[in-house]
A = this chain, B = another copy of it.
């Protein structure tokens, strides 16, 4: 669906539960996704302002979704500073549980982009929610995270 437009008034506004329980779970399980609206990218190869043009969805809402292969060096997602060419993403706050019918199906980490080098970078308005499955112990298949990036 790259570049296709939705009918007027339709938006991709998934809940955390839909994003993790449907999109991320099916992607990691290698199952078909009804509409391929979330592209796979190598997130840290890009500065945040380079990412919107890689989104499959219209850009007017100032939010974008991506799958990103999970970095195997940090299996529990505990790396807090992730560098790009012009700056770094820094985690803020505590990870939040994503719950479906009382079961924890994943976690959401919030990160903010800083221009420059840690710890002296300048905070920007680029924000990322990074979602991981709670049970993504890799067994050879690629493991993904799903990213909700916004400019707030």
Please report A residues at the B interface, Cβ cutoff 8 Å: 6-15, 18-19, 22-23, 34-35, 37
The interface residues of chain A, by DSSP majority, are classed as loop
* Cβ contacts A to B, 12 pairs, < 8 Å: A8-B22, A8-B23, A9-B12, A9-B13, A9-B14, A9-B18, A9-B19, A9-B23, A10-B13, A10-B35, A11-B12, A11-B13
- A7-B35, A8-B23, A9-B14 known; 7 other A-B pairs, CB under 8 Å? A6-B10, A7-B37, A8-B22, A9-B23, A10-B12, A10-B35, A11-B13
CA distance A13 to B13 in the complex (A): 9
Residue from A9, A14, A15, A18 whose CB has the most chain B CB atoms within 10 Å: A9
Q: Chain B's nearest CB lies how many Å from the CB of A101?
A: 14
CA distance A82 to B34 in the complex (A): 43
**Which residues of B have CB within 8 Å of A9?**
12-15, 18-19, 22-23, 37
Nearest-CB residue, chain B, relative to A14: B9
CA distance A92 to B13 in the complex (A): 29
**Which residues of B have CB within 8 Å of A7?**
34-35, 37
Query: Ordered nearest first, which 6 A-B pairs have the shortest CB separation?
Result: A9-B14, A7-B34, A8-B22, A7-B35, A8-B18, A9-B18
Residue from A7, A34, A35 whose CB has the most chain B CB atoms within 10 Å: A7
